[in-house]
Homo-oligomer: A and B are copies of this chain.
Amino acid sequence: MNDPTSDLLPEGLEDRLPQSAAAAARIERAAMAVLHAHGFDRVRPPLIEFEKSMAARMDGLMTRAMFRFVDPKSLRTLALRSDMTAQVSRIAATALSQAARPLRLCYSGQVVKIAGDQLEPRRENLQIGAELIGNDSAAAAGEMVELAIAALEAAGACNISVDFTLPDLVDTLAAEEFPLDESQRDAVRRELDAKDAGGLKEAGGEAYLPLLYATGEFEMAAAKLAALDTSGVLATRIVRLREIAARVGGRARLTLDPSERHDITYQTWFAFTLFAEGVRGALGRGGTYRIGGSGEVATGFSLYPEELVEAVKAAEDLGHKVFLPLGHDRHLAALARGEGWRTVEALDEADDAAALGCTHVLRDGGVQAL
């Protein structure tokens, strides 16, 4: 029982201690309040599901990335969720299939993946998200990008920037403007992703070279993208991107990296990634997609606020604690709580107010500094 190794947690998993747990709870509460205020109704899918069901609703969701185990009840394979978007899609396509569209749903919960990586060793994450089901227009995308920014701001993120991308860009260009056969497309996508000009030429994607330079500050990059689109096959997409940018440009710094994929494999014409000052890595991502099975269009985003928690936890305010001495007046203690104080009750003469983190004490009929 005293084996010290039994106290260690598996790699990539951790306990949140009070400062960190309070920051995570506040961030979750603040973000969910914004989604609620914008008309998104919360749903809560279970932590585990049939592996097949989890995979069916979203192309590209790797069940190999999930912990799986056999259910002794059904004798079928279950998976611990690594993403809640597919679960919300399932709810939209089944229990809420008759609800009016667009359907606005939001969610928050823990997700677990089987393996971390060097950039992101964490295996359990808090995922907070919103899905707008039944619409994937520029208006829908604008609403969702603005909502994601508002949720992150309410959670305490500052100087947010949003990177736009066009997930189906290569397919669109390859079909008309810069023909590629099927076998070349993957290589071209990969070299664009790696931003490797030499590799791109070797893969037969020389025509795609200008895409490597149509990146950066949104207006400038969008103009470059428009300039290289001589046949106009991207015209609709560029108009839509500008519509979204016009809506959210006042609230965040916008960039465009049209061929960036961000590990996103299931999105359709639009995707975006969110960053904030002082926070390592991306805080969230979203875009337009189709729900597997029903084929219904949707626009959504997920926030992963772990690094925001890391950035703010040291300064998280846990409130002031008032020590309640033995024999204190319980009515006065309740009044102090009503005013926002946290109370800590003495159980024993030996209880030490200062050691217990109290800055105040209830005495002489009121709250006083220790």
Contacts and interface: CB of A to CB of B under 8 A. Distances in A.
Given A39-B321, A102-B351, A143 B18 contact: no
Nearest to A44: B16
Nearest to A116: B73
Contact of A115 (B14, B72, B87, B96): B72
A142 B87 CA distance: 43
A306 to B, nearest CB: 11
A41 B18 contact: yes
A46 B14 contact: yes
Given A69-B68, A135-B348, A48 B112 contact: yes
B44 A24 contact: yes
B135 A347 contact: yes
Interface string A1-38: 11100111111111111101110110001001000111
B50 A21 contact: no
A132 B140 CA distance: 49
A139 interface: yes
A53 B347 contact: no
Contact of A67 (B14, B39, B48, B115): B48
Nearest to A141: B347
A94 B43 contact: no
Contacts of A76: 10
Given A43-B16, A53-B8, A342-B37, A347 B115 contact: no
24 contacts: A2-B293, A3-B56, A6-B50, A6-B293, A11-B74, A15-B45, A15-B87, A15-B91, A15-B95, A16-B43, A21-B43, A22-B41, A25-B32, A25-B42, A25-B44, A39-B342, A41-B318, A68-B69, A73-B115, A100-B357, A135-B347, A137-B348, A139-B347, A143-B345
